[in-house]
Structure 1
Amino acid sequence: MTTRIGVAVMAVLLALYIALVAQRAWLLLTSADPAGIALGVGLIILPVIAAWALWRELAFGIGAERLGRRLEAEGGLPSESVTVRPSGRPIREDGEAVFPTYRDAVAEDPTDWQAWYRLGLAYDAAGDRRRARQAVREAIRRERNARANG
Structure 2
Amino acid sequence: MRAKISYLVTAAVLVVFFVLVGGRAVALIGVGTPIAVAIGLAALTLPLIGVWFLWQNTRFVTRANRLAVELEAEGGLPIDELERTAGGRIDRDSADAVFARRRAETEDAPDDWRCWFRLAVAYQDARDTPRARKAMQRAIALHDGRRPAAS
Matched, 1:20 2:20: yes
What does residue 30 of structure 2 align with? 30
Q: In structure 2, the residue corresponding to 1:77 is in which secondary structure?
A: coil
Check 1:8–1:80 CA distance in 2 against 1; reply closer, same or farther (3 A cut): closer
Matched, 1:49 2:59: no
Check 1:125–1:95 CA distance in 2 against 1; reply closer, same or farther (3 A cut): farther
Most deviating of 136-145 and 126-135: 126-135
Check 1:85–1:145 CA distance in 2 against 1; reply closer, same or farther (3 A cut): farther
Matched AA of 1:96: D
Most deviating of 2-11 and 82-91: 82-91
Matched AA of 1:97: A
- Which sections of structure 2, spanning at least 5 residues, go unmatched? 147-151
Matched AA of 1:25: A
Q: 1:64·1:140 contact (CA, 8 Å) conserved in 2?
A: yes
What does residue 120 of structure 2 align with? 120
- How far apart are 1:77 and its partner, in Å? 2.3
Q: Deviations over 1:67-122 (max 9, x none)?
A: 12221221212357323468877444322211111111211221110011011122
- How far apart are 1:58 and its partner, in Å? 1.3
Q: 1:117·1:135 contact (CA, 8 Å) conserved in 2?
A: yes
Check 1:32–1:127 CA distance in 2 against 1; reply closer, same or farther (3 A cut): closer
Matched AA of 1:68: A
- How far apart are 1:125 and its partner, in Å? 3.5
What does residue 65 of structure 1 align with? 65
Q: Deviations over 1:18-49 (max 9, x none)?
A: 11111111111111321211111012111111
Q: 1:91·1:125 contact (CA, 8 Å) conserved in 2?
A: no
Q: In structure 1, the residue corresponding to 2:75 is in which secondary structure?
A: coil
Check 1:115–1:56 CA distance in 2 against 1; reply closer, same or farther (3 A cut): same
Q: 1:83·1:91 contact (CA, 8 Å) conserved in 2?
A: yes
Q: 2:119·2:132 contact (CA, 8 Å) conserved in 1?
A: yes
Q: Aligned residue pairs: how many?
A: 146
What TM-score do the two structures reach when normalised by structure 2? 0.84
